[in-house]
Amino acid sequence: MNEQNPERGRRSLDDLLQTNKAQFDKVFASQMNETGLLSANRQPATSADLASASMASSPAKPDARDVTAHLNARYGGGWSSEILEHKAERGGVSVLVKLTVDGISKMQFGSARANGDTGKALQRATDDALAKCAAMLADDAPVTTETVAPRQRPSLEAAPAAQPAPGAGKLDVVTLDLIENSLRNARHEMDAVLFRSAMSPVIREQHDEYPMITDPKGRMIVGQFGSYVPEMLKSQNFDLVPGDVILQNDPFKCGGAVSHINDWIILVPVFYQGAMVGFTSMFGHMMDVGGPVPGSMPTAATSIFGEGLRIPPIKLYEAGVLNQAALDLIMNNTRTPEMNYSDLMAIIAGCRAGERRVIELCERFGTEIYAQACDALLERTERAMRTLIVQNLPTEPQSFEDYVDDDGCGNGPFKMKLTVWREGEHAYFDWTGTSAQAPGPINFYLHDGMFKMFIGVYMIMVFDPQILFNDGFYDLIHVTLPKGSLVQPDFPAPLGCRTHTLSRQFDVLGGALSHNAPEMATAAGYGSSPHFLFSGVDQNGKNFQLMEILYGGIPGRPIGDGMDGHSWWPLFENIPTEYLETYYPLVIEGYNSVSDTGGAGLHRGGNGIEKVYHLLAEGDVSIHDDRHESQPWGILGGKPGAVSAKWLIRKDGEKSPLPSKIDNVRVRPGDRIVFRTAGGGGWGDPMERDPVRVRNDVARRLLSNGSARDDYGVVLHGDDLAIDHRATQDLREGTKRNRRPLPMFDFGARRGNGSS
């Protein structure tokens, strides 16, 4: 762009787009035709259709048997339908149908049993899909239709026309690409604003926060954690206007949009020329929200009332005016008001940054093109996910189970069981068989949309990382969450340590998906969310409070070794040692990969880490972790990873083990905490690993010489670790002859059958 004259640069790009519009449209039409999204099959209304359908009595969700008549009566000749895909399998027919009404399109699957007549089954399946599409159109008003007063909520379609860009009215492939990348950049700009403005290390350094940009219906277009806007607004009848900012943190008030009360959500409605065009939103982990224990995640909590301040959805700002009384009340209930205030305002600033970028896109391209682009991005992700589902999910139900070791209150282990299958391009995930909710705070109030996003993140990252994360595939995923269970607890269950269940969910998901394509699956990771909390008063009389999230071994994978001491969570980072030692009374005496803690395999599991905290002030330490009893399992002959462990070493040298979940361990200057996390499971037969790679792992202190011999059959000699190839070959051949057949999964040590 011309730096001296930005307007000239923008016009030049617009001129280029206009000049090449025909070519762009040709390319776009070609691409869309390849996927079956262009060309329509109109169904004009007949007199018989009109006579058989009553507008006054038409149901909101029409029956499949009279859906054509219903559509004709409601829309006349202004609708069209198209069968995009159809399949006959397992005694039935499934179809994907696209219904278009006045330029708005919806796609849904329909199915029917064949019963010996495939043609009639195809018609019934088509009617079924059309009925679902029609119901979506009937119900598919923006979120604001139900939550905004009529005088405040002009519809997107009725918004005053924006200044159109060249070619406005029809989306072309270049414009779609520009809008997509602008939204991606806006999402990362939201992060950047937050990181530069927040005060707490958990957000500023570790990035424990999640941004999102949605369309007017609350569907995530770009982001990390999946849409929660409809659930968040469902219980409140807000009149939304420009300048509003909504705050809340109660999982039970938003259907599990956040999973514990330390996460504060900010939601900002985005308006352009009087119309709502979407939302920006972020939530981040607050250092403290009250309750009996610093950090507000007591390991012994037995209800959410014992964990801190619950905030229902409230307007923190209304039309740009701060609700000071509400803010004062909230900040009066935290031990870290300065950090919380800074982080809260930084989250709002991040949302405002995203809001500005969305408005700029509407100014540049117009609201019509922007809305079309959002729909196109959602549809593209849906198409990609349909392919992943068909390629990687079993047609017959497959189950897998793993265990959370304990709930911090002496109960456990707790079973997590997941059954997975697909029907056509639709995927089903059923948690039936999971243990009942725990008395202690490991319960994870799982939001349906959030779990769908977890599924999408897992499948996209494992099978096709180029796919855009958004809500487009949600209609393809069906989730069963048993009420009163570990993953859908009843109010007022405690939730503060829910991240152990959240982490273990990925191991269970990976195990369930491995049945259909084991060669594409991963082993189990460290399966936890290790937390170290340290609070007290320093030598200058100043209160301090630290929370740090540690990491462990990532599992061995089809494409290579697991990473050592890495985060499960996307975009998380560690807190630099320099930061910790500058702002807190402690010294980090060690921060190392622990050799031999990753499971052996053709691709070894990542090692856990050991961090040694030398404490310089009197205070209290709390620890959250898991995988201290159940090992992270290996797959396809890979060995399990090592479990976690913790110790308190007093100044006089006395050493005592600590449980994985404990609060208020009193420490004094000179004491040390040794925090060791679990490793990841191995992938594949360790006897097939290249001896040179084994030798290099020993040289890097990722493996011991003993593990090289015992687990990998590699014999090394001398200080230079020379490989004895003849001895290695003999040892490996003897091991293979004498061992039992390699199991699909190697669980290592595993306790009981779990609580039920």
Q: Are residues 124 and 243 in the same domain?
A: no
Q: Is 99 exposed, middle or buried (0-12, 13-18, 19+ CB in 10 A)?
A: buried
Q: What does the pLDDT read at residue 77?
A: 66
Q: What average pLDDT does the segment 326-342 reach?
A: 96
Domain span holding position 334: 173-381
Q: Which residue would you say has higher pLDDT here, 619 or 11? A: 619
Q: Number of H helices and number of E strands within the chain? A: 18, 28
Give me the chain's average pLDDT, please.
84
Q: Are residues 91 and 193 in the same domain?
A: no
Pairing of strands 619-624, 79-89: unpaired
Q: Would residue 313 count as lying in a domain?
A: yes
Cα(194)–Cα(318) distance, rounded to whole angstroms?
22
SS3 call for 738: helix
Q: Is 740 exposed, middle or buried (0-12, 13-18, 19+ CB in 10 A)?
A: exposed
Q: Would residue 286 count as lying in a domain?
A: yes
Q: What does the pLDDT read at residue 154?
A: 33
Closest CA to 525 of 494, 497, 503: 503
Q: Which residue would you say has higher pLDDT here, 374 or 228? A: 374
pLDDT-wise least confident of 278-282, 515-519, 579-583: 515-519
Q: Are residues 199 and 134 in the same domain?
A: no
Cα(614)–Cα(211) distance, rounded to whole angstroms?
35
Residue 271 has pLDDT above 90, yes or no: yes
pLDDT-wise least confident of 93-102, 157-166, 210-219, 306-315: 157-166
Q: What does the pLDDT read at residue 226?
A: 67
Residue 186 has pLDDT above 50, yes or no: yes
SS3 call for 485: strand
What is the band of 132 on the pLDDT scale with cuts at 50, 70, 90? confident
Q: What crossing angle do the helices spanning 173-197 and 337-365 adopt, rounded to 10°?
A: 160
Please answer whether residues 606 and 561 qualify as being in contact, where contact means their C-beta atoms are separated by less than 8 angstroms: yes
Residue 13 has pLDDT above 70, yes or no: no
Q: What average pLDDT does the segment 538-551 reach?
A: 94
Q: What does the pLDDT read at residue 465?
A: 65
Q: What does the pLDDT read at residue 462?
A: 67
Cα(434)–Cα(498) distance, rounded to whole angstroms?
15
Q: Which CATH number is 90's domain given? A: 3.30.160
CB atoms within 10 A of CB 530: 28
Q: Would residue 487 count as lying in a domain?
A: no
What is the band of 671 on the pLDDT scale with cuts at 50, 70, 90? very high
Please name the residues in contact with 165: beta carbons below 8 A apart, sequence gap of 6 or more: 14, 17, 175, 364, 365, 366, 369
Q: Which residue would you say has higher pLDDT here, 93 or 407? A: 407
Q: What average pLDDT does the segment 288-309 reach?
A: 95
What is the band of 158 on the pLDDT scale with cuts at 50, 70, 90? very low
Q: Would residue 497 count as lying in a domain?
A: no
pLDDT-wise least confident of 2-11, 115-124, 736-745: 2-11
pLDDT (tens digit, 9 = 90+) per residue, 687-701? 999 999 999 999 999
Q: Would residue 565 count as lying in a domain?
A: yes
pLDDT (tens digit, 9 = 90+) per residue, 308-331? 999 999 999 999 999 999 999 999
Cα(692)–Cα(699) distance, rounded to whole angstroms?
10
Cα(199)–Cα(340) distance, rounded to whole angstroms?
8
DSSP-derived secondary structure letter, 437 = P
Please answer whether residues 411 and 439 qualify as being in contact, where contact means their C-beta atoms are separated by less than 8 angstroms: yes
Of the three residues 349, 381, 413, the one that is the final residue of a domain is 381
Residue 141 has pLDDT above 50, yes or no: no
Q: Are residues 127 and 260 in the same domain?
A: no
Closest CA to 609 of 530, 551, 525: 551
Q: Are residues 108 and 185 in the same domain?
A: no
Length of the chain: 756
Q: What does the pLDDT read at residue 35?
A: 33
Residue 388 has pLDDT above 80, yes or no: yes
Pairing of strands 531-537, 477-480: unpaired
Q: What does the pLDDT read at residue 551?
A: 96
Q: What average pLDDT does the segment 30-56 reach?
A: 36
What is the band of 490 on the pLDDT scale with cuts at 50, 70, 90? very high
Q: Are residues 212 and 327 in the same domain?
A: yes
Cα(367)–Cα(6) distance, rounded to whole angstroms?
22
Residue 39 has pLDDT above 70, yes or no: no
pLDDT-wise least confident of 90-104, 151-165, 665-679, 725-739: 151-165
Q: What average pLDDT does the segment 8-33 reach?
A: 43
SS3 call for 227: coil
Please name the residues in contact with 695: beta carbons below 8 A apart, sequence gap of 6 or more: 708, 714, 716, 721, 723
- Count of structural domains, the chain: 3
SS3 call for 136: helix
What is the sign, positive or negative, of the torsion defined by CA atoms of 445, 447, 448, 452? negative
Q: Are residues 114 and 252 in the same domain?
A: no
Q: Are residues 186 and 67 in the same domain?
A: no
What is the band of 139 on the pLDDT scale with cuts at 50, 70, 90? low
pLDDT-wise least confident of 44-53, 590-599, 698-707: 44-53
Q: Are residues 201 and 341 in the same domain?
A: yes
Cα(606)–Cα(566) distance, rounded to whole angstroms?
8
Cα(203)–Cα(616) distance, rounded to whole angstroms?
24
Residue 737 has pLDDT above 50, yes or no: yes
pLDDT (tens digit, 9 = 90+) per residue, 422-480? 999 999 999 999 999 999 999 999 877 778 877 877 777 766 666 777 888 888 999 99
Establish how many alpha carbons lie within 13 A of residue 195's alpha carbon, considering only the half-sphere containing its beta carbon. Answer: 16
Q: Would residue 23 count as lying in a domain?
A: no
Pairing of strands 745-746, 586-593: unpaired
Q: What angle do CA 506, 511, 517 make, to 5 degrees?
A: 120
Q: Would residue 329 count as lying in a domain?
A: yes
Q: What does the pLDDT read at residue 17?
A: 40
Instruction: Using the CB atoms, write b or e for 381-416: b if 16+ within 10 Å.
Output: bbbbbbebbeebbeeeebbbbbbbbbbbbeebbbbb
Q: What crossing angle do the helices spanning 21-34 and 6-19 adopt, rounded to 10°?
A: 60
Q: Are residues 130 and 212 in the same domain?
A: no
Q: For the chain, what is the largest distance between any 2 Cα atoms, rounded to a whole number of angstroms?
A: 95
Please name the residues in contact with 402: beta carbons below 8 A apart, sequence gap of 6 or more: 415, 416, 504, 507, 508, 511, 524, 527, 630, 633
Place of tokens 């004895």: 724
Q: Are residues 204 and 130 in the same domain?
A: no
Q: Which residues pair with 389 in a beta bridge?
A: none
Cα(82)–Cα(107) distance, rounded to whole angstroms?
9
Q: Would residue 19 count as lying in a domain?
A: no
Token pair recorded at residue 391: 């390629």
Please list the alpha-helical segments (H only) found in 652-724: 691-699, 705-712
Q: What average pLDDT does the segment 345-357 reach?
A: 97
Place of tokens 């599991």: 605
Of the three residues 90, 119, 140, the one that is the final residue of a domain is 140
Please answer whether residues 700 and 681 qualify as being in contact, where contact means their C-beta atoms are separated by less than 8 angstroms: no
Q: Which residue would you say has higher pLDDT here, 118 or 402? A: 402
Q: What does the pLDDT read at residue 751?
A: 57
For the entire predicted model, the pTM comes to: 0.74
User: N- to C-terminal Cα distance for the chain?
Assistant: 63
Token pair recorded at residue 346: 């930084």
What is the band of 57 on the pLDDT scale with cuts at 50, 70, 90? very low
Of the three residues 647, 668, 686, the one that is the final residue of a domain is 686
Closest CA to 368 of 218, 214, 222, 168: 168
Which range among 17-21, 160-164, 586-590 has the greatest average pLDDT?
586-590
Cα(287)–Cα(201) distance, rounded to whole angstroms?
9
Q: Are residues 133 and 184 in the same domain?
A: no
Closest CA to 260 of 268, 269, 270, 250: 250
pLDDT (tens digit, 9 = 90+) per residue, 199-229? 999 999 999 998 999 999 888 999 877 667 8
Q: Which residue would you say has higher pLDDT here, 313 or 9? A: 313
Q: For the CA atoms of 593, 594, 596, 598, what is the dihedral angle to 10 degrees? A: -60
Q: What does the pLDDT read at residue 117?
A: 65
Q: What does the pLDDT read at residue 393?
A: 85
DSSP-derived secondary structure letter, 75 = H
Q: What does the pLDDT read at residue 689?
A: 97
Token pair recorded at residue 187: 């999402």
Q: What does the pLDDT read at residue 228?
A: 74
